[in-house]
Amino acid sequence: MKVSGRLRRAARGALFGALLAAILAFALFPLYYALVTSVTPSGELFRAALVPPGWTLEHYRGVLAGPFLRAILNSALVAAAVAALSVALALGAGYALARIPFRGRHGVLLAILSVSMFPQIAVLAGMFELVRGLGLFDSLGALVLSYLILALPFAAWVLTTFARGVPRELEEAAALDGAGPLRTIARVFVPLLRPGLVAIGLLVFVTAWNEFLFALTFTLSDAQRTVPVAIALLSGASAYELPWGAIMAAAVVVTLPIVALALAFQRHIVSGLLAGATKG
């Protein structure tokens, strides 16, 4: 009786272990395989080996020598600008929506929520025209402007959720000292919400770093291209011979920093995502 119970427990443990192994393999194998491919010499790629049969940095050298480095810089610039801009704008909006009762508040929240559901394609034609009209076509400015539609509703929504959690007493103390809304935001909300602001900034950064449709449509030249477009358009001598080693090297270069960021700030990011998914 006792032995069979222990056996059952062991069997169940082994089964659970196998389940976890399967989950981990599903989640991590594609990235692991990209890493393997990126260091495999070109002549060995056809073997589809699970561990690198040789070792080379040729793919990394090739990718980083081309226009790809410029694309990384462009992506970083655009993503940082969009993150800073969205957080700054959303601070005021989030405070107002969370803390000031005014007529039309519900309508504004609903408008922000609706914009966050817009399919990008619905604004593509109008945005194309606007970007051209403002002389921003094929420039990073076009991307900063168009990414606001992806970033700002999310940032404002999540900030509203976070701002609701700030104790009212602190705000009232600031008001008694004669601080206006802007001073209250700067003195009370920014310090208290710093983890939340980091989370929102990071999530916006990642969104902008990953965006593809607008970048594909509003930029043309290598000098203005961002990382996702550069990777999608990486090609070899002919359409039938894609440089898989180089593509995987590029994939590793742009993904590892994001994965590292996501893991380092995991708790922040999870809290931001959860706040974004709660109803207002």
Partner 1 sequence: MTRAVGPATLRARRARAAWWLLAPTLAALALAAGWPLARTLWLSLTDATLADPGDFAFVGLANYLEHDAGQWYGVLADPQWWRAVRNTLIFAVASVALETVLGVAIALALDVPFRGRALVRAAVLVPWAVPTVVSAKLWAWMLNDEFGVLNHAALALGLIAAPIAWTADPDLALVAVIVVDVWKSTPFVVLLVLAALQMLPGECYEAARVDGVHPVRVFFRVTLPLIWPALAVAIAFRALDALRVFDLVYVLTANSASTMSISVYARQQLIDFQDLGFGSAASTLVFLTIGLAAIVYLRLARLRPEEVR
Cα gap 38→196, rounded to integer Å:
36
- Asked if 46 interacts with partner 1 (CB under 8 A), we say yes
Closer by beta carbon to partner 1, 74 or else 217: 217
Q: Which of 38, 31, 29 is nearest to 246 (CA)?
A: 38
- Asked if 221 interacts with partner 1 (CB under 8 A), we say no
- Asked if 126 interacts with partner 1 (CB under 8 A), we say yes
- Asked if 5 interacts with partner 1 (CB under 8 A), we say no
Whether 94 and 162 have beta carbons less than 8 Å apart is answered as yes
Stretch that binds partner 1, among 51-59, 60-68, 186-194, 252-260 (CB under 8 A): 252-260
Closer by beta carbon to partner 1, 3 or else 78: 78
First to last CA, the chain: 55
Stretch that binds partner 1, among 55-63, 65-73, 191-199, 209-217 (CB under 8 A): 209-217
Cα gap 174→137, rounded to integer Å:
45
Least Cβ distance, residue 154 to partner 1 (angstroms): 11
- Asked if 45 interacts with partner 1 (CB under 8 A), we say yes
Selected binder of partner 1 within 8, 232, 236, 280 (CB under 8 A): 232
Q: Is 138 left (phi over 0), alpha (psi -120 to 50) or beta?
A: left
Selected binder of partner 1 within 65, 117, 176, 237 (CB under 8 A): 117
Whether 40 and 18 have beta carbons less than 8 Å apart is answered as no
At 135, is the secondary structure helix, strand, or coil? coil
Cα gap 90→101, rounded to integer Å:
17
Residues 133-152 that bind partner 1 (CB under 8 A): 145-146, 148-149, 152
Whether 227 and 209 have beta carbons less than 8 Å apart is answered as yes
Record the tokens describing residue 132, joined without a space.
């051209």
Selected binder of partner 1 within 71, 197, 248, 249 (CB under 8 A): 248
Whether 143 and 209 have beta carbons less than 8 Å apart is answered as no
Residues 59-78 that bind partner 1 (CB under 8 A): none
Stretch that binds partner 1, among 3-11, 57-65, 110-118, 187-195 (CB under 8 A): 110-118
